[in-house]
Amino acid sequence: MLIRAVGVLMLTALMAGCGDDRAVADCNRPPNFKRQIEACTTVIADDPKSALAYSNRCQAYNQLEDTAKALSDCNAALKLEPNNKSAYNNRGWAYEIRKEYDLALTDYTKAIQLDPRFALAYANRGDVYFKKNDKERATTEYRLALEIDPQNDVALSGLKRLGAR
């Protein structure tokens, strides 16, 4: 499975309300995914309304393929911040891991509606179309992602799998 990065996160957004700077840093840019979960748990204990920490922990759980915990955290993030594009993208990824492709597409599409320049969400949507054997739509999504971010690894590897340029 491709390891997907959520992208660059705003470290200062979390630092503003939290006392444990190391936990905040590890929640945003972890040395490993288990440490990210621990750090985000610490941040959430200090600030239970940190949608970013829930979304980051969701992403870490996705990396470990613990989709039940990932979905719970993404839902918590979205309850706190209904327009959190990263939480929609991360929840879409959890659904994708579970092979719930229609739910994944819905969440990736919502992330794109919130930010039409969210290259990773386009690339992830391309992966779902690839898995649904819709190669034409997958190619289109990957190319849209690359228009925004020419170095997007998910889109580049998706096009390579398809034998497209």
| Residue 105 domain-assigned (yes or no) | no
For residue 30, the model assigns a pLDDT of: 67
Asked if 27 and 43 touch (Cβ cutoff 8 Å), the reply is: yes
Residue 5 — pLDDT band, cuts 50, 70, 90?
Answer: very low
Q: Are residues 133 and 94 in the same domain?
A: no
Q: How far is CA 28 from CA 3, 34, 67, in A?
A: 16, 13, 19
For residue 69, the model assigns a pLDDT of: 98
What domain range includes position 144?
A: 116-165
Give the model confidence (pLDDT) of 53-76 as tens digits: 999 999 999 999 999 999 999 999
| Residue 107 domain-assigned (yes or no) | no
Q: Are residues 24 and 95 in the same domain?
A: yes
For residue 29, the model assigns a pLDDT of: 77
| Residue 64 domain-assigned (yes or no) | yes
| Residue 3 domain-assigned (yes or no) | no
CATH of the domain at 93: 1.25.40.10
Q: Is the pLDDT of residue 45 over 80?
A: yes
Q: What is the mean pLDDT of the chain?
A: 88
| Residue 111 domain-assigned (yes or no) | no
The total of structural domains in the chain comes to: 2
Give the model confidence (pLDDT) of 80-127 as tens digits: 999 999 999 999 999 999 999 999 999 999 999 999 999 999 999 999
| Residue 108 domain-assigned (yes or no) | no
Mean pLDDT of 138-148: 98
More confident residue, 99 or 12: 99
What is the value of pTM for the model shown? 0.85
Burial of 39 (0-12, 13-18, 19+ CB in 10 A): buried
Q: Are residues 16 and 74 in the same domain?
A: yes
